[in-house]
Amino acid sequence: MTAAPIRFRFGIHPLGEVGLWGGDRPTLHWFGLTDGWYWVELGDVRLLRFAADYDIPYVDYYVVRLWEDLLALLPAAVEEVPSDVIGFLESDDRGWKDVESEVADAAIDCWSDRSLNFSYLRESPSLRCWRSGDQLTLDWNAPANFAEPRTLRTTVAVADFVAAVEELDTTLMAAMESRIAEVEASPQVGVDIDLPNLRREHQDRAQWFARARSRAQTTDWNAVRAGAAQLLA
């Protein structure tokens, strides 16, 4: 499968259904207010969809996690990978040798930096990416609790990937602007929430995408090549 358009989609639960934090002293904050669900669209394929017939069949978690992890991934995702390193990035880490060295660490970091973090899920899938020219390869592997396809490798234009992350940022910031206004207009009785700090945090997070785009990944490719040779030996 090649040249698929990509979108990062989400929904957020109504304010009255948002889970509270803090146990006996319930509290809410910006992170918690993103309580919702999300998925990835690649053409007509939807990733992060569960195999079971749930009312909401997608990952039901704080949407901010997807957003934060995509912003963390972005600098490495858009860094072009030398052609002779792509074979290492395509490799399965379960087949690597057990090696301890600085160059092996550099290679592992290079591989990991191009992986979207789903470790907060009980049975987590893997979505990894690497750039070659103006194309980004996406490699998806998921356990049996996710719907088909459980494995998929496709490509998207780098510009389309960046635009999809920017669209997620724009739509999430807009949704949270509306949510914060709702909270400010009608604070929940018995729920501790710092309204001035909530507004300040929102204003700060609205700058995160621009900061991510301004960060340049500077991988030491010679160290990665040396480390990959050790891990794949």
Q: Exposed e or buried b for every residue in 81-115, given b needs 16+ CB within 10 A?
A: beeebeebbeeeeeebeebeeebbebbbbbbebbb
pLDDT in tens, 169-183: 999 999 999 999 999
- Predicted pLDDT of residue 2: 47
pTM attached to this predicted model: 0.94
The sign of the dihedral angle between the CA atoms of 217, 218, 223, 226 is positive
pLDDT in tens, 201-221: 999 999 999 999 999 999 999
- Predicted pLDDT of residue 1: 43
For the chain, what is the largest distance between any 2 Cα atoms, rounded to a whole number of angstroms? Answer: 62
CA geometry: angle 75, 76, 79, nearest 5 deg: 90
Low-confidence ranges of the chain (pLDDT < 50): 1-2
Contact 30, 21 (CB under 8 A): no
CA geometry: angle 214, 220, 225, nearest 5 deg: 135
DSSP conformation letters of 51-107: SS--SS-BEEEEHHHHHHHHHHHHHHHTSBPPGGGHHHHTS-GGGS----SHHHHHH
- DSSP E strand stretches across the chain: 6-12, 35-42, 45-47, 59-62, 115-116, 126-132, 135-141, 151-157
Contact 233, 109 (CB under 8 A): no
Cα separation, 191 vs 117, whole angstroms: 31
Residue type, 45: V
Contact 128, 116 (CB under 8 A): yes
